[in-house]
Chains A and B, each alone.
Chain A
Amino acid sequence: GAGVSQSPSNKVTEKGKDVELRCDPISGHTALYWYRQSLGQGLEFLIYFQGNSAPDKSGLPSDRFSAERTGGSVSTLTIQRTQQEDSAVYLCASSTYRGRETQYFGPGTRLLVL
């Protein structure tokens, strides 16, 4: 079946603008995760959804970052007032159930803030 999809594939924006990144998980996967991959910090966890709720938001770096998930499926990660340090690849992953299941990743969105 179809894997995790993310859009856009690449995004270039100007400092101070807001951006929205989209993730479509594998059908039937109830758990959804966002990670950020940057040169300086490696791969960092941002937020975890189980259904539409987010039990773990501990990785969101500032209040400029928010995420939502609707209908237990698509998720949107929003970055407000982007800064140059937000430039990174944003990866989304999904799994069937919490705790013991493998996370499957999408191809990521490369964000460049000028």
Chain B
Amino acid sequence: AQTVTQSQPEMSVQEAETVTLSCTYDTSESDYYLFWYKQPPSRQMILVIRQEAYKQQNATENRFSVNFQKAAKSFSLKISDSQLGDAAMYFCAYRSVQGGSEKLVFGKGTKLTVNP
């Protein structure tokens, strides 16, 4: 079974600085998807960024980018120019593309605090 590990329960960053959240995963599959979701206190899970495993190029969405290392099974999220609104729980998630396995497998999350 696939597992996702986020080794940093909490992180903090100064406003306008850069922070990197770590995620590793375990799978025997060659094709899959990886996601970062953000969950503010409102509870709404918001997609931040996604990466297809077959793509070598790292995904980027504005201030958010990933460092996808397939061989190392590592998928870190970099947030540049951090803003107060970035404060939230961040979850890394894995999704198989094999038939019948539709679920997301989540890590335990990293709580990000942004200091003014």
Contact = CB atoms under 8 A, between A and B. Distances in A.
A25 interface: no
A42 B102 contact: no
Contacts of B109: 42-43
A59 B77 CA distance: 28
Interface of A: 31, 33, 35, 42-43, 45, 48, 50, 55-56, 59, 89, 91, 93, 98-100, 102-108, 110
Interface residues of B, number: 24
Contacts of A55: 100, 102
Given A42-B108, A43-B91, A99-B97, A105 B102 contact: no
A107 B42 contact: yes
Interface of B: 33, 35, 37, 42-47, 50, 91, 95, 97, 99-109
Contacts of A103: 95, 104
